[in-house]
């Protein structure tokens, strides 16, 4: 671990409500996102994260409003671009804690091209995907995780697309920490965000989060019923085992929850730091030595 | 700089050598070696290259202009042509005028040219000789040896640069190439020299560097103190990323090759928010992808520098060819009313100076700054005085002094609100693309949006005073004033010199700041000219459009879009036509 990784942890003692900003929460009553916010605030408190060293980054969507409600530095960016913006923040300042929050459309539709690279490059950040199987902010269109039977406003006769499984993709893309929870299980959400932030590397947490306003079939009760209550008992350092558990659950139309995969490997900022060290890099390196290379 | 093509019996000191053949035959490296040798002799050099969009094959051309005095452009046409194959001959035979020298692959080449009367012909068996020496790839070295003998390019200097270049490929490669070079010299010695072209060392040697536009942008960024660089490969901008990749780690900086240009500009915006001087470099297609995030950077008042090395468009277009056609997109390419600062570079020196200026402006005004280069300049190597890094002034962003309650978007007299780096106690805030109030909280009221737009645009009013934003060439009243931007400026400079030498009353106006358009300066210049001409390499007449829209001036547009820059004689002819 380099000397900056997870340095932001255990710095202060604050209650979870002290991490809440003054901006009122705008989500509908019964929205799963409330549980995710509560879980995040509790995790921050339990970890003792200094809010001055925390950057919350989001894209666009209902879930992307989350940073407004958290006491921290934060960026509310473009649809699909939270991941790369957060990458810039993290690489520029590896001493900061970086948390991305966003939805299924933001992360896996418009922003889907960035996901493999956040994972394979092992950017040291925690990505909390609030997966409600619907576009909420645009009021009810199918998302990449919507079930085919969902009749949304763009699928009035029923869906024509197959849904994707975010967990399966993130395992394949090489994320070094992959976990899943149901938003109604705030205890598990808290624990996984905490673990994810302690994990050095790219931690991805998919949270099934009901949208009571626009998704009438994927209700809280439905999500609760399909989530395996018990945390999977496979070896979480074994990628094959994790893939097997997820595939098995998909076949059974169930969702595995808890920590599914975790591996330690170098993060991009660590590799960059090693590269700078390798070339003897220093901000005071004499520019003339570089310019001299262009003499005829 | 007067070029007299009819000089007889005198040695010309302003020479243009064109080497042409198939991509992959070593045209570019032979040209580079000669360029380096000329620069070592204290001469100025200015090169122009065209190459195909394919990796192997297709027509490639390297044109080197060298002269003891300052050179502003690639020139009109060659004095010396070196053709590696029949295609090179076919494409250039119209320009083989009496008095030109022609070195070509024969016997054993794939063509036998008809030598026009008055052309000095030098057949050199390049392919055959390279094959005999068992170094088929060394055809270019045979040609270079011949050019060296024929036109007095010092053998020692060429041997040095050649050996240095091939050193890492091993001694056998160095020796093979040197043998081919030597053989080329012998072959040329056996021919009777009938022309008078000869390169002469300059009397005084100056302290110079020889750089391409792309490398100079990279160096400018280093001088400006760039700390973070992200880019996605794209012709013709990739060398900027390659240069920075090589040298930024030495300065302790961070760089990343992004998955696409949307990610690269996003990385830059994130890094800049985190307090770092950050930039990306791309070409038109990449800039198109960045346009949404550039709006976000304007809205969230996040400094960022974006270099656009323009190429022929639209769409995939002419990816390796010259065009100045991204001005519309650079100025207005985003949704909503989004502002930015747009600069454009004339030559390699500008690539350093204006990249530094771009960082200073971005940091000062907390907005995107776009720097327009072009594909000719990207690959053009030019001599310039050694850039002393201490002679540049670097400006940092205004940071919060820690007093009172922090408001990120505080309304101030000059519209510039102090920034704060994450990790600063009391400075927590949100950078957001939503319309917001002074504290950053969402606010969509009419009054707030109007106030905030006025703040964001109003702060840009001072830009014109921050660096040499425009240049006027000539004084007093003129019958014709020429407005030029980017790579066309150097061509106009020389065209005006020739016209003035013939007694024409002409002036030039060269804006380096294209947006916000320096309206007052345009008006002043326009008032001193009877007619205005605006040559630019695009179909629509993009700068002419903005000048007509923003000023009272009505310049006559002169547009070309054939993938090549203007030449000075085109400017001269056009002005004469207008005044005829």
Domain boundary among B132, B155, B189: B189
Nearest to A281 among B228, B250, B278 (CB): B250
Q: Look up the CATH number of the domain holding residue B85.
A: 3.40.920.10
CA–CA min distance A104, chain B (Å) = 19
Give me the percent of chain B exceeding a pLDDT of 70: 98
pLDDT at B363: 98
Let me know if residue B163 belongs to a domain. Answer: yes
Give this complex's ipTM.
Answer: 0.97
- Render pLDDT for A20-77 as a digit per residue (tens, 0 to 9): 999 999 999 999 999 999 999 999 999 999 999 999 999 999 999 999 999 999 999 9
CB contact under 8 A, B267 and A268: no
Distance CA B193, CA B151 (A): 9
Let me know if residue B514 belongs to a domain. Answer: yes
Q: Where are the beta strands (DSSP E) in B303-442?
A: 304-310, 341-344, 368-374, 381-385, 430-432
- The structure's pTM equals 0.96
Residue B317 has pLDDT above 80, yes or no: yes
- Render pLDDT for B44-74 as a digit per residue (tens, 0 to 9): 999 999 877 777 778 999 999 999 999 999 9
A&B contacts, CB < 8 Å? 181
- Annotated domain spans of chain A: 16-267
- Render pLDDT for B516-570 as a digit per residue (tens, 0 to 9): 999 999 999 999 999 999 999 999 999 999 999 999 999 999 999 999 999 999 9
A202, A268 Cβ separation under 8 angstroms = no
CA–CA min distance A112, chain B (Å) = 11
CB contact under 8 A, A287 and B300: no
**With an 8 Å Cβ cutoff, is B276 touching chain A?**
yes
**Which residues in chain A come in under a pLDDT of 70?**
1-4, 229-231
Structure-block tokens of residue B323: 């065009």
CA–CA min distance B446, chain A (Å) = 21
Mean pLDDT for chain A overall: 95
Structural domain range at position B484: 470-579
B177, B129 Cβ separation under 8 angstroms = no
- Render pLDDT for B169-226 as a digit per residue (tens, 0 to 9): 999 889 999 999 999 999 999 999 999 999 998 888 889 999 999 999 999 999 999 9
Q: Look up the CATH number of the domain holding residue B573.
A: 3.40.50.920
Domain boundary among B154, B189, B224: B189
pLDDT at B7: 40
Picking from A18, A100, A91, A114, the residue whose alpha carbon sits closest to that of residue A56 is A100
Give me the percent of chain B exceeding a pLDDT of 90: 91
- Render pLDDT for B401-426 as a digit per residue (tens, 0 to 9): 999 999 999 999 999 999 999 999 99
pLDDT at A8: 81
Let me know if residue B5 belongs to a domain. Answer: no
Nearest to B423 among A96, A279, A294 (CB): A96
Nearest to A88 among B223, B251, B266 (CB): B266
pLDDT at B11: 61
The arrangement of secondary structure in A16-267, i.e. its CATH architecture, is 3-Layer(aba) Sandwich (3.40)
Torsion of CA B499, B500, B505, B506, to 10 degrees: 60
Q: Calculate mean pLDDT across residues B302-306.
A: 98
3-state secondary structure of B254: strand
Residues of B in contact with A283 (CB under 8 A): 251-252
**With an 8 Å Cβ cutoff, is A89 touching chain B?**
yes
Q: Look at chain B and report how many structural domains it folds into.
A: 2
Per DSSP, the residues of B221-252 read HHHHT--EEEE---TTTHHHHHHHHHHGGGGT
Let me know if residue B272 belongs to a domain. Answer: no
Backbone dihedral angles phi then psi of residue B391, each to the nearest 5 degrees: -85, -5
DSSP alpha helices (H): ranges in A125-261?
166-173, 186-198, 220-226, 239-251
Residue B2 has pLDDT above 60, yes or no: no
**With an 8 Å Cβ cutoff, is B249 touching chain A?**
yes
**With an 8 Å Cβ cutoff, is A147 touching chain B?**
no
Domain boundary among B156, B189, B222: B189
Let me know if residue B123 belongs to a domain. Answer: yes
A189, A183 Cβ separation under 8 angstroms = yes
Let me know if residue B404 belongs to a domain. Answer: no
Picking from B119, B115, B140, B114, the residue whose alpha carbon sits closest to that of residue B31 is B140
pLDDT at B246: 97
Backbone dihedral angles phi then psi of residue A34, each to the nearest 5 degrees: -55, -40
CB contact under 8 A, A282 and B251: yes
Picking from B551, B549, B547, B480, the residue whose alpha carbon sits closest to that of residue B514 is B547
pLDDT at B5: 43
């Amino acid at each position: 671990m380099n000397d900056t990784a997870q340095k932001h942890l255990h710095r202060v003692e604050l209650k979870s409500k002290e991490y809440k900003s003054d901006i009122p929460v705008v989500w509908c009553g019964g929205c799963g996102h409330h549980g995710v916010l509560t879980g995040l605030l509790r995790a921050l408190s339990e970890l003792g994260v200094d809010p001055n060293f925390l950057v919350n980054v989001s894209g666009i969507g209902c879930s992307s409003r989350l940073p407004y409600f958290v006491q921290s530095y934060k960026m509310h960016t473009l649809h699909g671009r939270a991941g790369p913006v957060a990458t810039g923040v993290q690489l520029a300042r590896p001493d900061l804690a970086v948390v991305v929050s966003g939805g299924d459309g933001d992360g896996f539709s418009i922003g889907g091209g960035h996901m493999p690279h956040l994972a394979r490059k092992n950017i040291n950040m925690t990505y909390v995907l609030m997966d409600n199987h619907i576009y909420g902010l645009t009021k009810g269109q199918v998302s990449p995780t919507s079930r085919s039977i969902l009749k949304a406003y763009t699928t009035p006769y029923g869906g024509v697309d197959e849904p994707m499984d975010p967990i399966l993709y993130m395992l394949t893309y090489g994320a070094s920490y992959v976990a899943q929870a149901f938003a109604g299980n705030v205890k598990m959400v808290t624990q996984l965000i905490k673990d994810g932030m302690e994990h050095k590397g790219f931690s991805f947490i998919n949270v099934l989060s009901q949208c009571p306003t626009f998704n009438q079939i994927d209700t809280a009760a439905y999500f609760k019923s399909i989530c395996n209550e018990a945390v999977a008992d496979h070896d979480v350092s074994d990628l094959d085992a994790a893939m097997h558990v997820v595939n098995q659950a998909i076949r059974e139309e169930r969702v595995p929850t808890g920590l599914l995969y975790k591996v330690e490997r170098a993060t991009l900022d660590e590799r960059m730091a090693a590269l700078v060290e390798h070339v003897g890099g220093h901000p005071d390196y004499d520019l003339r030595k570089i310019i001299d290379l262009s003499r005829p | 700089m007067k070029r007299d093509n009819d000089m007889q019996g005198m040695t010309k000191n302003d020479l243009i050598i064109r080497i042409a053949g198939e991509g992959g035959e070593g045209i570019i490296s032979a040209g580079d070696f000669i360029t380096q040798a000329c620069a070592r002799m204290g001469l100025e050099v200015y090169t122009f290259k065209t190459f195909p969009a394919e990796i192997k094959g297709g027509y490639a051309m390297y044109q080197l202009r060298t002269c003891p005095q300052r050179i502003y452009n690639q020139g009109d046409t060659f004095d010396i042509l070196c053709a590696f194959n029949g295609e090179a001959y076919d494409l250039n035979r119209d320009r083989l005028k009496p008095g030109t020298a022609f070195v070509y692959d024969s016997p054993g080449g794939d063509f036998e040219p008809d030598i026009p009367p008055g052309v000095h012909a030098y057949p050199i068996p390049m392919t055959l000789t390279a094959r005999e020496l068992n170094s088929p790839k060394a055809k270019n070295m045979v040609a270079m040896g011949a050019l060296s003998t024929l036109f007095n390019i010092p053998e020692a200097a060429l041997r040095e640069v050649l050996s240095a270049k091939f050193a890492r490929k091993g001694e056998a490669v160095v020796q093979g190439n040197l043998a081919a070079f030597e053989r080329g010299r012998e072959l040329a010695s056996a021919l009777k020299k009938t022309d008078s072209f000869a390169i002469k060392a300059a009397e005084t040697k100056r302290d110079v560097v020889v750089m391409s536009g792309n490398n100079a942008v990279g160096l400018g960024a280093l001088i400006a103190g760039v700390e973070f660089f992200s880019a996605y490969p794209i012709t013709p901008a990739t060398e900027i990323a390659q240069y920075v990749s090589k040298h930024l780690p030495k300065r302790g900086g961070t760089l990343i090759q992004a998955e696409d240009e949307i990610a690269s500009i996003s990385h830059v915006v994130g890094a800049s928010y985190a307090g770092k001087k950050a930039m990306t470099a791309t070409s038109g297609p990449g800039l198109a992808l960045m346009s949404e995030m550039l709006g976000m950077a304007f809205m969230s008042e996040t400094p960022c520098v974006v270099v656009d090395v323009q190429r022929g468009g639209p769409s995939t277009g002419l990816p390796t060819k010259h065009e100045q056609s991204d001005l519309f997109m650079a100025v207005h390419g985003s949704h909503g009313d989004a502002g930015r600062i747009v600069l454009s570079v004339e030559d390699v020196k500008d690539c350093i100076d204006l990249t530094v200026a771009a960082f200073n402006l971005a940091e000062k005004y907390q907005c995107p700054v776009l720097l327009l280069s072009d594909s000719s300049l990207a690959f053009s190597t030019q001599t310039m005085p050694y850039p002393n890094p201490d002679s540049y002034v670097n400006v940092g962003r205004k940071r919060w002094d820690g007093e009172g309650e922090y408001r990120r978007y505080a309304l101030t007299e000059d519209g510039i609100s102090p920034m704060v780096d994450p990790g600063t106690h009391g400075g927590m805030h949100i950078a957001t693309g939503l319309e917001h109030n002074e504290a950053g909280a969402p606010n969509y009221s009419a009054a707030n949006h109007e106030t905030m737009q006025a703040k964001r645009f109003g702060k840009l009013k001072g830009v014109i005073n921050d660096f040499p934003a425009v240049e006027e060439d000539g004084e007093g009243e003129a019958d014709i004033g020429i407005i030029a931007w980017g790579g066309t400026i150097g061509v106009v400079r020389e065209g005006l010199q020739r016209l003035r030498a013939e007694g024409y009353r002409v002036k030039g106006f060269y804006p380096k700041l294209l947006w916000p358009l320096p309206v007052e300066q345009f008006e002043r210049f326009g008032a001193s000219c009877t007619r205005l001409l605006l040559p630019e390499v695009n179909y629509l007449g993009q700068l002419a459009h903005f000048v007509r829209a923003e000023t009272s001036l009505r310049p006559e547009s002169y547009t070309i879009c054939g993938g090549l820059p203007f030449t000075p004689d085109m400017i001269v002819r056009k002005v004469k036509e207008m005044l005829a």
